[in-house]
Amino acid sequence: MKTIAMKNYQTDESRASSRLRCASPRQGVEGRKSGVRRSAGSRPAFTIVELLTVIAIIAILAAMLLPVLSRAKITAQKKQAAVEISQIVGAIQQYDSVYGRFPVSANDQVLAGTGDFTCGGAGYDVSGINQLWIMGITNNAEVIAILMDATNYPGGGPTPNMNYVKNPQRTIFLNAKIVNDTNSPGVGPDGVYRDPWGGPYIISMDLNYDEQCRDSNYCQQAVSQNPPASTSQTGFNGLFNPDPIATNPNNFLYHGKVMVWSAGPDRKFDNTSANQGVNKDNVLSWQ
């Protein structure tokens, strides 16, 4: 009987041990999972101070980046203006080569008389500059229409090239973007060609064919003389006054047939030195 009891005891003990061995891994896994859950559940969230610190860092980085992006945008716009200015100059020179004359209307030719002619200054801040109007400044729409072989302006109405009288070969010398308003870059409904900042391009042409071009703003001693307020006949950016300053101070000329320029990002120019103030950011074809 003892032997049987011992066997039964051993059998029961073996079964219990087996059950413990089988149950132990599952319990361990469940225990680990429970520990993971407790650990994840007890992880702290961002505090208000940490969140404000992150926001402040982002704001500082954005403030540092914005001026860089602004300068990059202006640089790209200046390059675009320089390209468009070069295209206008090239188109006028090509037109002159084909027809032996400049793309000007009969009205502008009368205003120019026997001298050179500047157009395009209308719409700028030109306070204090009377010289701009002495040469009969108009906008650049008539010149651009002839170069683009347009008989009507985008907004309607005839151009000086009506019936192709100014461009009988119907050659397109200039391609420019057409826009639907009078503030965007491109050729607006009024036919005016505007730079990347919405200011009209200013165009001067050597209508007396002496190979010297006189721009009604840059001809001034106050603008172009280098150094300013002296007797120097040398001007900024290659301009030169062939006459003595004492007798004809406002005759700084460009040795060439065409001058095209933009008043730049600030859309302003005045009769102060070309390398200072609002004139400093102007984009010039002869620069």
pLDDT digits (tens, 9 = 90+) for 233-286: 999 999 999 999 999 999 999 999 999 999 999 988 888 999 999 999 999 999
pTM of the entire predicted model: 0.77
pLDDT at 15 over 60: no
Q: How confident is the model at residue 123 (pLDDT cuts 50, 70, 90)?
A: low
Tokens of 255: 């040795």
The whole-number pLDDT of residue 214 equals 95
The whole-number pLDDT of residue 2 equals 45
Q: Do residues 207 and 102 lie in contact, with contact meaning Cβ atoms separated by under 8 Å?
A: yes
Residues 133 and 160: their CA atoms lie apart, in Å, by: 21
Residues 143 and 139: their CA atoms lie apart, in Å, by: 9
Tokens of 56: 């402040």
Percent of the chain residues past pLDDT 90, beyond the cut: 61
